[in-house]
């Protein structure tokens, strides 16, 4: 299995809602990443988990809360988001750090905040 | 200093032609340079990557040329095909010290049949 899966594919939420994005990989990779991508822009790194521990937080607002319950699963909990948080949220994984290893990206979750 | 400048923003090439996309960086701490291809509605997929101790790397129709002194690298797509139409991102990565994975601004390539 060489896939990174993400659910849901699309999500619409209000500014007072709480929702979660889910990412899963079964390639035995030990590093997992969350990226945010706005339309016609490059992906921006948000968080890196290495061996199930948060190793990098790129100064992301606390309304985004990552969680890595096990080595195959990565969640992103969302609360009190703003309309400007609407974007494609991409999950990726790699065999480990250092990052000369390829990052495998999922298809993303298209998030719309109303 | 953490930026990666990518050009052109968009590119139209005839089928069978050569597509060339350029990237430039400033931070000499970057030591890994991948290129990604992204189709609409999909996540980016790694095409090819290079480290600064190599000046050129070729994989099939895709070639990276790297100029360390100029801090520039480029992607050449030979015999471009309509199926290559996608957005291409270069990236620059630091593998020691503070971890940084910086993407270029992207190039939308369209290959005409």
pLDDT digits (tens, 9 = 90+) for A31-42: 999 999 999 899
CA distances B19 to A9, A52, B49, B73, B79, Å, are: 32, 40, 17, 14, 8
Would you say residue B64 has pLDDT above 60?
Answer: yes
Percent of chain B with pLDDT over 90: 78
Lowest mean pLDDT among A44-58, A65-79, B59-73: A44-58
Is there a contact between A102 and B46 if contact means CB atoms under 8 Å apart? yes
pLDDT of residue B95: 79
pLDDT digits (tens, 9 = 90+) for A52-110: 999 888 889 999 999 999 989 999 999 999 999 999 999 999 987 655 567 899 999 99
Q: Does A57 touch chain B (CB under 8 A)?
A: no
pLDDT of residue B105: 95
Would you say residue B2 has pLDDT above 80?
Answer: no
Q: Which of B41, B51, B105 lies nearest to residue A42, judging by beta carbons?
A: B105
Q: How confident is the model at residue B97 (pLDDT cuts 50, 70, 90)?
A: confident
> Within a 10 A sphere around the Cβ of A52, how many other Cβ atoms?
15
The distance of B41 to chain A (nearest Cα, Å) reads 7
Would you say residue B33 has pLDDT above 70?
Answer: yes
Which tokens belong to A80?
């009190």
Identify from A9, A36, A53, A99 which residue to disrupt to test chain B contact, counting B C-beta atoms within 10 A and taking the largest count.
Answer: A99
- Judge whether A21 and A109 are in contact, CB under 8 Å: yes
Is there a contact between B44 and A102 if contact means CB atoms under 8 Å apart? no
What is the overall mean pLDDT for chain B?
93
Q: Which of A100, A102, A108 lies nearest to residue B43, judging by beta carbons?
A: A108
Report which of B5, B4, B7, B19 is spatially closest to residue B83, judged by C-alpha positions: B19
Percent of chain B with pLDDT over 70: 98
């Amino acid at each position: 299995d060489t896939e990174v899966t993400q659910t849901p594919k699309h999500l619409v939420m209000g500014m007072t809602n709480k929702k979660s994005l889910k990412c899963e990989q079964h390639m035995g990779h030990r590093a997992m990443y969350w990226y945010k991508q706005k339309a016609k822009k490059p992906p921006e790194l948000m968080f890196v988990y290495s061996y199930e521990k948060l190793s990098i937080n790129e100064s992301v607002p606390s309304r985004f809360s990552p969680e890595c319950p096990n080595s195959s699963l990565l969640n992103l909990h969302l609360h009190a988001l703003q309309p400007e948080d609407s974007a494609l949220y991409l999950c990726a994984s790699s065999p480990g750090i250092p990052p000369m290893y390829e990052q495998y990206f999922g298809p993303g979750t298209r998030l719309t905040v109303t | 200093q953490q930026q990666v400048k990518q050009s052109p923003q968009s590119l139209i090439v005839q089928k069978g032609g050569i597509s060339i996309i350029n990237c430039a960086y400033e931070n000499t701490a970057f030591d890994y340079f991948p290129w990604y291809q992204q189709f609409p509605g999909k996540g980016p997929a790694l095409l090819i990557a290079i480290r600064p101790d190599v000046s050129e790397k070729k994989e099939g129709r895709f070639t990276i040329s790297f100029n360390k002194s100029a801090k520039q690298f480029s992607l050449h797509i030979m015999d471009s095909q309509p199926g290559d139409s996608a957005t291409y991102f270069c990236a620059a990565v630091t593998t020691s010290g503070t971890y940084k994975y910086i993407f270029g601004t992207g190039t939308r390539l369209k290959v005409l049949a």
